[in-house]
Structures are given as C-alpha cells and as structure tokens.
Amino acid sequence: MLVLVLIAFALISGITFYQYREQVKDYNIDRLERKENAIKKEIDRTLETTTYQMRTDKVPFIFKDEIYDIARIHGENITLYDLEGQPLLSTTEKLFESPAKEAIPKRILDTLAGALEKRYVERINTKTPQQISYSYINDPKFKRLAILQIQYEDSDSFINKEMREILIRIGVVALIVFFTAIFLAYILARYITLRLKNIEEKIKETQLDKRNKKVDTHSLPTELLTLVSAYNGMIDELEESAAQLAQNEREAAWREMAKQVAHEIKNPLTPMRLTVQSFERRFDPEDPEINVKLKEYSNTLIQQIDTMSSIASAFSNFADMPAQQSETLNVPKVIKLALDIFRERNIAFAKADQEILAKFDRTQLIRVVTNLVKNAIQATKNTTDPKIFVDVQSVHNTVQITVSDNGIGITEENTSKIFEPKFTTKNSGMGLGLAMVKNIMETYNGTITFTSEEGKGTVFTVTFPKD
C-alpha cells in the first residue's frame, strides 16, 4: 500500500512536470507568433511610408533607423537578409563584427521556400534556449523584398518557478499522505493482528479430547468473519467426531476387555473340568486313601476358584470409575497407611511425619500407591539387593509422588504399551494395574509418567493438584 502511494505521487509529479513543459513550449510558440506578427506590421507600415524605391538593395536604407526602434520596442534581435540569404541589416552587432558574415544555410532557404505559410522556425538549445523564425517581407504589391529573421529567447523562467512551487507542494502533500498511510497501516495491522492472535490461540488450544471454545464473532471485521465462521463450524464437527470416536473407542475397549475376561476365566475352568472328570473316573469309596485324594481334589478346585475370583476383582476395580471426592487428606499419612500392608523390608518412605494437604479420594489414593508398589516389588523380585523408595513432595500447587526401584526396568519396545489395559510382562495377572492408575489420575486432573533404564530400575511419578 505504501509503495502504491509513492508510485501514485511519482506519477502525478511526472505528469505535472510533463504538462508544464508542454505548456511552456506552446506558450513560447504562441508568443513568438504574436511578436512576429507585430514586427511585420511595423515593417509594413515603414514600407508604406518610405520614399525609397521598393527593391532588395534599398532595404538597408529603408530600415536604417527604423529597424532599431522596432527591435527596441519588441525586445527582440532582428536581422534582414536578401532573397539569397545574405545579411543586409541586423540589430545583432555580433553578426557584422565577424570577419565572415553569416548567411542563411541553404537547407533553411529551401525549407522556407517550400513551406505553405512561407515561414520556418528553428529551435536552438543553448544555455538560454532560443527560437529563430524566418519569413518573407513583401512590398505592398506582395512582391518579395527580403527575409526577416527574429531571434526569440524562450521566456520560461516564470513558468519554471511556478512549476517548482507546484512540485514542492505536491512533495509536501505526498510526505503528509505517506506518513499518514504509515500510521493508518500500523493501526490497521495491529487491529487485524490482535484478532488473528486470538484466533491463533484458539486454534492452538484445539484438542480432540476436550470441549473447545468457539471464537466470538461479534465486532469482527468482514475479512475475518468468514475465517472465524469456518473455524467455529470446524469446532462443531470436531465435537461430533470426538464424541463418536470416544463412543467407538469405549465400545472397542469393552469388547476387548470382555474377550480378555472370557479368556482368563476359561483358563481355570479347563483344569477344573479335567479334575472333576478325573476324580469321577477314579473315585472308589473303598479306597483307603480316599480322604487324601478328596482333599487334593478340593484344594485344586479352591485354587482355580481363587484365580477366577482375583480375575473378577481386577476387572471390577478397573471398571469402577472413581467419583471425585472433596476430602482433604494428609497425603504422607495416607501413603504410610498404604505401605503398612506390605511386609517387605526393602520399602523406604521417609516423609511419614510431613504434612501435605490435598483434596483426593482416600481409597483411590491408596489404590494408586498400592499398584505402583506392587509393580516395584514384582520388578525387583530377582534383584540381589532390592530397593524400593517412595517419596512425596509439594511442588507449587501440586502434589508429586514418586515410586522408584532398582529392578529390571522397562524395555524400549514396551514403553509405549505400559499404560494399555491387559498389557503385562508378568506370568500372572491381567495387566490392569497401571491402566487403572492412569484412569484415576486423569479423573482427578492429574498425570502419571515414568523414566526407566533397562537393567537399572524404573521411577514412576504421579502428579495431581492440591485443590
């Protein structure tokens, strides 16, 4: 926009300069014609009153004194030539002071003779631009007597002064408009940038897994209204897609969970069926060891029933979505209660006497700590000197609990699967512990992260707000 403003004023200045040059040219041409006509009238008046014979050789005598009066009155240099172009009389002293008298060039004579108006004007670009006109002088009977030369200096100083003043005014106006345009462009850019910044922040905050806010369309310029309307329409479509996707994911997750539960339940049912069939074939009331065999049979069934019960409990705990509670807890004290159920001596917790208050559900917090410690115990099962360290800290307005161990660690290929339901590296269990912990933390606007080095140990960190 600023470049266009500069180009526009440059074109205006150029056109103005060109127009004035043309006006100066037309002005000088018209002025020369008026001068020439006035001088010819004076010459004709002189010819009418002269007593000399009307011949070319008498022209210097006819205009001996009159030519100087005419030149003085009209302010121009006048020279009279014969019809062959040789000088006869002139008010220009230089012409006759020169040893060689200057004659009219033949090309001018030929051009003058062939012109319809019997007039020829030549422009000379010297330090002071001049126009030299040639025309015939006729006697009262229209017979050619001589050639009249008038040297006219272009009078453009006044017009040039006016042109300079106009160009200066145009330049001042151009500067004012230019700086005004800069100011308006800055204000407009700031106005549009602030609007775009708001839209940019909204777009950056757009996420599939949460409800996104629309951009307010009130007091928006027309240029941005279409963009904002498209964004708001996208938000509506995104919410519909997110809801459908969430529903599909939940259905898929429950289908997978149902398959896993069915598979886990079938595992103990098969040995139970085989045990019953074997006992039925081998049952003998007279057998002296019948009591021992009956006890073995009962123990086998009880073990399988306990396995099925643990599967049902694990699934129930995972499926039981924790409801948010506003209970204010002393977090170190609750962690100490959760650790008391473990008999392992290699579990260290040094913050039992510290007070860190936060709002959380007591049962769910115990679940989180218990599952993390159980995983640490399982990870250090084959470690020579197992160590498990539990720590809790207050970081700004959040509570941070860490459970670290020096166990086998997590392989790189399992890193991305660690929080998936039914994923486990253990020989037993359903792999729901960490998935349940993640579910609880997300419910309470918290997070769970981990760092691990294979063969050296793992550190799990859960963080949740105090309020």
From 399, 400, 378, select the one nearest 388 (Cα to Cα): 378
Q: What is the pLDDT of residue 423?
A: 47
Spatial distance between the Cα atoms of 133 and 127, rounded to a whole number of angstroms: 19
The verdict on 307 and 343 lying in the same domain is no
Last residue of a domain, one of 319, 336, 351: 319
The verdict on 291 and 341 lying in the same domain is no
Length of the chain: 467
| 190 domain-assigned | no
| 192 domain-assigned | no
| 209 domain-assigned | no
The verdict on 153 and 276 lying in the same domain is no
Q: What is the pLDDT of residue 267?
A: 61
Spatial distance between the Cα atoms of 217 and 227, rounded to a whole number of angstroms: 10
The verdict on 415 and 442 lying in the same domain is yes
- Domains identified in the chain, total number: 3
Spatial distance between the Cα atoms of 111 and 360, rounded to a whole number of angstroms: 114
The verdict on 252 and 292 lying in the same domain is yes
| 281 domain-assigned | yes
Q: What is the pLDDT of residue 404?
A: 93
Q: What is the pLDDT of residue 430?
A: 43
Last residue of a domain, one of 159, 185, 209: 159
| 177 domain-assigned | no
Q: What is the pLDDT of residue 427?
A: 46
* Identity of the amino acid at 305: I
Q: Residue 238 is part of which domain span?
A: 222-319
Last residue of a domain, one of 285, 319, 353: 319
The verdict on 251 and 388 lying in the same domain is no
- Phi-psi region for residue 409, left (φ > 0), alpha (ψ -120 to 50) or beta? left
pLDDT (tens, 9 = 90+) of the chain, 467 residues, equals 778 878 888 888 888 878 877 777 777 778 778 888 888 888 888 888 888 888 888 888 888 888 888 888 888 888 999 988 898 888 876 555 544 467 888 998 888 888 888 888 888 776 767 788 899 998 888 889 899 998 887 666 556 677 778 878 888 888 888 888 888 888 888 777 776 777 777 776 666 555 666 666 666 666 666 767 777 777 777 777 777 776 777 677 667 666 666 666 666 666 677 667 777 777 777 777 777 777 777 777 777 777 677 666 666 655 555 455 668 999 999 898 888 878 777 889 877 678 999 999 888 888 889 889 988 988 898 888 899 999 999 988 999 999 999 998 888 887 877 877 654 555 444 456 788 888 888 888 899 999 998 888 999 999 999 98
Task: Note the helical H segments in 138-221.
Answer: 157-205
| 348 domain-assigned | yes
The answer to whether 145 and 139 are in contact (CB under 8 A) is yes
The verdict on 92 and 154 lying in the same domain is yes
User: Which CATH number fits the domain that encloses residue 112?
Assistant: 3.30.450.20
Q: What is the pLDDT of residue 429?
A: 45
| 385 domain-assigned | yes
Contacts with 363 (C-beta within 8 Å, 6 or more apart), sequence order: 322
The verdict on 260 and 134 lying in the same domain is no
The verdict on 23 and 133 lying in the same domain is yes
User: Which CATH number fits the domain that encloses residue 417?
Assistant: 3.30.565.10
User: Which CATH number fits the domain that encloses residue 300?
Assistant: 1.10.287
DSSP state of 341: T
The verdict on 144 and 229 lying in the same domain is no
Q: What is the pLDDT of residue 461?
A: 94
The verdict on 268 and 246 lying in the same domain is yes
The verdict on 308 and 334 lying in the same domain is no
| 212 domain-assigned | no
Spatial distance between the Cα atoms of 293 and 291, rounded to a whole number of angstroms: 5
Task: Note the helical H segments in 350-399.
Answer: 362-379
* Identity of the amino acid at 114: G
